Amino acid sequence: MVKYGFSALAVLAGYALLALITGGCAQMGYPTGGPKDSLPPVLIKATPEINTVNFSGNKITLQFNEYIDIQNIQDNLLVSPLAKKNPNVSGNLKTLVIKLRDTLKQNTTYTLQFGNAIKDVNEGNVLKNFSFAFSTGNHVDSLFLSGKVTLAQTGKTDSSLVVLLYKNINDSTVYKERPDYIAKLNGKGEFHFQNLPEGSFYLFALKDNDGGKTYNSASELFAFANQSVESGTTGAPVHLYAYALEKEKPSSSRSTTVPTSSRRNQAEKTLKFTPNFLSSNKQDLLKTLDLTFSSKLKRFDSTKILIADTNYHPLPYTATMDSTGSLISFKLSWTPNKDYILLTQEAAFEDSMGLKNIKNDTFRFKTLSKEDYGAVQLRFQNLDLSQNPVLQLVLGEEIKLSQAINGSTWQNNMVPPGDYEIRILKDRNQNGKWDAGNYTLKLQPEIAIALPQKLTVKANWDNERDIDMAN
What would the pLDDT profile of 235-290 be if each residue is shown by its tens digit?
A: 789 999 999 988 766 554 443 343 444 444 444 578 999 999 988 999 999 999 99
3 pLDDT exceeds 50?
no
The pLDDT of residue 25: 44
Reply yes or no: is the peptide bond before residue 417 cis, omega within 30 of 0.
no
The pLDDT of residue 270: 86
Q: Answer positive or negative: Cα dihedral of 382, 385, 387, 391.
A: positive
What is the pLDDT of the chain when averaged over all its residues?
A: 87
User: Biggest alpha carbon distance in the chain?
Assistant: 125
Q: Which residue has the higher pLDDT, 28 or 343?
A: 343
SS3 for 307? Answer: strand
Q: pTM for the whole thing?
A: 0.79
Average pLDDT over residues 370-382: 96
Taking the CA atoms of the chain, what radius of gyration do you get in angstroms? 34
Find out whether 125 and 40 touch, Cβ atoms under 8 Å.
yes
Average pLDDT over residues 358-370: 95
Distance CA 27, CA 24 (A): 9
411 pLDDT exceeds 90?
yes
pLDDT in tens, 58-109: 999 999 999 999 988 888 899 999 888 889 999 899 999 999 998 899 999 9
Please give the C-alpha separations between residue 435 and each of 178, 246, 250, 372, 430, in angstroms, as whole numbers.
28, 11, 22, 33, 10
Distance CA 30, CA 197 (A): 58
Domains of the chain (ranges plus CATH)?
Answer: 43-135 (2.60.40.1220), 143-242 (2.60.40.1120), 260-371 (2.60.40.1220), 373-468 (2.60.40.1120)
